[in-house]
Amino acid sequence: MLKQDEGAKGLQSKAGKLLAIIPLTPNQWTLLSVAIALGAGASIAITKDIPLGLGLFAAAALCDIIDGAVARARNQSSALGGFIDGVADRFVEGIFLLSFMFVPLPIVAGADSRFWLALTVFLGTCMPSFVRAYACYKGVVTREQADALGGVCERPERILILLAGLAAGLALGMEFFIYSLILASALSLLTVLQRIFAVIGQSKAQPKVKA
C-alpha cells in the first residue's frame, strides 16, 4: 500500500510540474472544477445526457487533482487554498447528486429516488465534515485530533461507490445507482457515528482541569 501511495504521489508530482506552465493558479484550477461540474449538472438535469454529465464530472474531478499538484509544484500550497479546495469539493459533490433529482429514477425500497439523493447529500456530503469541524470549533478535540478522525466511508470511498453505482446503472438499470445511494448513505451514517464516538472518547481521555 505504501509503495502504491508513493507511486501515486510521484505521478501527481510529475503531472503538477508539467501543468504548472499553464497560466492558471491552483485556486483557478479549483474554481474551474466547479464550473465544469455546473456544466455536468446541467447536462444531466436539463438535457438528460447522463453519459456526457458523467464525463464532465470526471473532468471536474481531474481538475480537483490538478489544483493540489500544481500548488505543490509551484510551492503555493496554503491554508486558504486548502479551504477553498475543500469547499469546492462539497459543491461539486452536491451538484452531482442534486442534478439527478431532475432525472426520472426508479422507486427502490418503497421510497422516491429523491429521498435517497437527499439522504446521501445530508449523511455523506454534509454530516461527516460537520462533525469534524464542529468538534474542533467547540474545542472538544484539537485540530490534529479532528484531522485524524476517519471512518469506513470518507469522501473518496463515497465517490467511488456512487460512480460505480452510476456505471452499473447505465449498463444494467438505474436501480443500481439507487442501490449505491443507499449503500453510501448507510456507510456515511456509520462514519458519522464513528466520529461522534471518537470525539466523545477523546474528550473523556483528556485530563480534567481542577478549579
Phi (first) and psi of residue 106, to 5 degrees:
-70, 155
Residue with cell 506552465: 21
Average pLDDT, the chain: 86
Percent of the chain whose pLDDT exceeds 70: 87
Confidence of residue 76 (pLDDT cuts 50, 70, 90): confident
Q: Taking the domains of the chain in order of start, what are their residue ranges? A: 7-103, 107-205
pLDDT band at 2 (very low <50, low <70, confident <90, very high): very low
Indicate the range of 5-9, 35-39, 105-109, 167-171 predicted with least confidence.
5-9
**Do residues 134 and 196 touch, judged by C-beta distance below 8 A?**
no
- Ranking 40-49, 58-67, 90-99, 133-142 by mean pLDDT, the lowest is 58-67
Q: What is the mean pLDDT of residues 95-123?
A: 93
Chain centroid to Cα 29, Å, comes to 17
Residue predicted with more confidence, 73 or 40:
40
Residue 188 pLDDT greater than 90, yes or no: yes
What's the average model confidence in pLDDT over 154-163? Answer: 90
* CATH code reported for the domain at 7-103: 1.20.120.1760
Q: Are 14 and 2 in contact (CB under 8 A)?
A: no
Confidence category of residue 19, pLDDT binned at 50, 70, 90: low
177: cell is: 445507482
- Spatial separation of the C-alpha atoms in residues 37 and 87, rounded to whole Å: 13
Question: What's the pLDDT at 119?
Answer: 95
